[in-house]
Amino acid sequence: MGIGDWVLGIGQNDKRERSIRIENNGGFNFHFAFKKNGADYLKISPDSATFTKGNKTIVTLILLPLNKINLSNHKISLNIISGPTYTFLFNAKPRSPQIIFNSIKYNFGPCYVMRQPVPNTQIITVKNMDKEALIIESDYKNKQYLEVFLSTGQVILPY
């Protein structure tokens, strides 16, 4: 069973997948079950199944952290019921996206109270210097005095 490169550079909300092929070349049916310690951001699908002889399946390991993580030798076990147990060590290291803003602060100058205020617009440019496309989102709620126009799930291609 080849697992390839399990060391992942992963950022917050990045999704990474790895697949494992399981084959039953024996003369009997068997049942398998995966076991992992915690790590809600790590999903295994399917995590258990029964195989008839001669069949195979692909099991997908999905890593989707909601914040920066650093996994070092996280154990995942594949248990064959009434058979051997295979242990995988899973490593994931955080990385920060390589983005550049044209400005990180802006001085709006003096603000005067007027019956009909004159809008002041500032454009912030974001450059993606990473190797992969990035998704930029904001959880900022627009206020009467400040609005941010950013489409949900805006994709920024590498520069």
Average pLDDT of the segment spanning 54-58 = 87
Distance, in Å, from the CA atom of 47 to the CA atom of 150, rounded to the nearest integer, reads: 38
The yes-or-no verdict on residue 158 having pLDDT over 80 is: yes
- The boundaries of every CATH 2.60.40.10 domain in the chain are 7-94
Higher pLDDT, 152 or 95: 152
Confidence at residue 33, expressed as pLDDT on a 0 to 100 scale:
93
Domain covering 7-94, topology: Immunoglobulin-like (2.60.40)
Q: What digits encode the pLDDT tens for the residues 93-136?
A: 766 778 888 888 888 788 777 888 777 888 888 888 888 888 88
Give the chain's mean pLDDT. Answer: 80
CA–CA distance, 146 with 96 (Å, rounded to integer): 28
**pLDDT for residue 11:** 55
- What's this model's pTM, rounded to 2 decimal places? 0.53
| Pair 63, 92: CB distance under 8 Å | yes
Euclidean distance between the first and the last CA atom of the chain, given in angstroms as a whole number: 38
Q: Give the DSSP letter of residue 118.
A: P
